[in-house]
Copies of this chain bind each other. A is one copy, B any other.
Amino acid sequence: MLIHIRKDSLISVLQLVLKAVSHNNLIPVLAGICIEVHTTEIVFTTSNTSMTIQYRVSQDSDLLIIHRTGGIVVPARYFIEVIRKLNEGLIIFEVNQGLILTIISGSSQIRLQGIDPNEFPSINKEYHCGAKFRINNALLKSTIRQVAIAASSSEARPVLTGVSFDYNNDYLRLVATDGIRLASRTIYTENNWNNNTKILIPAQNLYEISKMLKNDDDTTEIVTFASQVRFTTNKLTIDSVLIDGVFPSILNIIPKSYMSEVLVESNRLLQAVECVAVLAGESKMKIATTMSALTLFSQTADVGEIQNEIPLIEMEGDDFTISVNGKLLVDLLRSIESNNVRVRFTGNMGPIIIISEDTDSSTMFLISPVRSHN
């Protein structure tokens, strides 16, 4: 292989594919970046067994000139560090015989020991896809951000570390829960094709994917297979494994009715909850309605107590008092995008329900109460 490639375009590709480089030393080749030079494009691939990222760069006289095809896997960490230190402008990559990549830029000359690209696991090719649909990138990012926050980070129950994608021909419902919180949002999809399907994607992979969707106006195609899901947008393809197991049924968790409801400004609620959470000793925060205000209160033994009030815009039903984990509530409220939110009280043992006020948003959060001994 022999190519000229511009440093800035190479760096932006490397920053994307870097996300799937394996830090696990069991399979050494996965600590590398697989570079395959074809006649008209280069394909960069990384994989950490849970997620595989592939990015294609096309021949272009300014960014990339391909002189000779070939391929090599180079150690990701050293490769990226070295490229970052080189001068701006064109860099020459050459593999002659053997598995040595020679990199030349200005007066710098680097020789890196590589691995045969045939040892790199090929991207899994499953042909029987379950469903295929398109979502606008901005919408997909916002939905992942809102829902994945409620997924569990503990491996104790693997199904709870995933986000459920429930696809029903023209709508897609995302749900995640860690057993205490639940987040859910339903969105409409484009260019739908094929069957209804329900899959469970690792929340961690979805976070990484959402960060890679740079262009908000673009769309991403999602194709599901028996054991994996593929996200494709422009030159970028990301495959994620699916989580095996049965996700809890949302119908059994979401209360059918509520006893009281208040409407408050989202920002004021977030600011007040963040302030009170500083002293949410043992993570418990009391939420109560009093007259025309929502009162938040927390205390830590030997340190002190905090109280904060925010005005109610509307209220329906009787006054209520309930305690929740303050830090978990803060996380949920930070992902609210609407100006106002409805907070619903479903009884002393039932969860608090938080709903965006926007009629076009189906975002819903649930948070279970902490039993109060006061």
Residues of A whose CB lies within 8 Å of any CB of B are 75, 78, 81-82, 85-87, 100, 107-113, 271-272, 274-275, 278-279, 293, 300, 302-310
Q: Which among A87, A275, A302 has the highest number of chain B CB atoms within 10 Å?
A: A275
B residues less than 8 Å from A279 (CB atoms): 78, 82, 110
Are B110 and A304 neighbours in the complex by a CB distance under 8 Å? yes
> Which residue of chain B is the closest to A112 with respect to CB atoms?
B304
Q: Which among A82, A100, A310 has the highest number of chain B CB atoms within 10 Å?
A: A82
B residues less than 8 Å from A82 (CB atoms): 275, 278-279, 306
Are B108 and A274 neighbours in the complex by a CB distance under 8 Å? no
Are A107 and B304 neighbours in the complex by a CB distance under 8 Å? no
Are B78 and A111 neighbours in the complex by a CB distance under 8 Å? no
Are A305 and B274 neighbours in the complex by a CB distance under 8 Å? no
> Which residue of chain B is the closest to A82 with respect to CB atoms?
B278
Are A86 and B275 neighbours in the complex by a CB distance under 8 Å? yes
> Which residue of chain B is the closest to A114 with respect to CB atoms?
B304
Least CB distance from A258 to B in Å reads 26
Bound-complex Cα distance A272 to B278 (A): 47
Q: Given A107-B310, A108-B307, A310-B107, verify A302-B85 contact (CB < 8 Å).
A: no
Bound-complex Cα distance A306 to B106 (A): 13
> Which residue of chain B is the closest to A102 with respect to CB atoms?
B304
8 contacting pairs across A/B (C-beta < 8 A): A75-B303, A81-B278, A107-B308, A108-B275, A108-B306, A109-B306, A109-B307, A111-B305
B residues less than 8 Å from A307 (CB atoms): 108-110
Least CB distance from A270 to B in Å reads 10
Are B113 and A302 neighbours in the complex by a CB distance under 8 Å? yes
Q: Given A78-B303, A302-B113, verify A108-B278 contact (CB < 8 Å).
A: no
Bound-complex Cα distance A275 to B81 (A): 8
Q: Given A78-B279, A86-B275, A279-B82, verify A110-B310 contact (CB < 8 Å).
A: no
B residues less than 8 Å from A85 (CB atoms): 271, 274-275, 278
> Which residue of chain B is the closest to A107 with respect to CB atoms?
B309
Bound-complex Cα distance A87 to B113 (A): 57
Partner of A303, one of B113, B304, B306: B113
Bound-complex Cα distance A109 to B306 (A): 6
Are B271 and A110 neighbours in the complex by a CB distance under 8 Å? no
B residues less than 8 Å from A112 (CB atoms): 303-304
B residues less than 8 Å from A304 (CB atoms): 78, 100, 110-113
User: Told that A82-B279, A100-B304, A110-B304 touch, could you supply 10 new A-B pairs with CB distance under 8 A?
Assistant: A75-B303, A85-B274, A107-B308, A107-B310, A108-B272, A109-B306, A109-B308, A110-B305, A110-B307, A112-B303
Bound-complex Cα distance A310 to B278 (A): 54
Least CB distance from A24 to B in Å reads 18
> Which residue of chain B is the closest to A302 with respect to CB atoms?
B113
Bound-complex Cα distance A110 to B303 (A): 11
> Which residue of chain B is the closest to A308 with respect to CB atoms?
B108
Bound-complex Cα distance A306 to B107 (A): 11
Q: Which among A112, A272, A293, A304 has the highest number of chain B CB atoms within 10 Å?
A: A304
Bound-complex Cα distance A310 to B310 (A): 64
> Which residue of chain B is the closest to A81 with respect to CB atoms?
B278
Are B275 and A306 neighbours in the complex by a CB distance under 8 Å? no
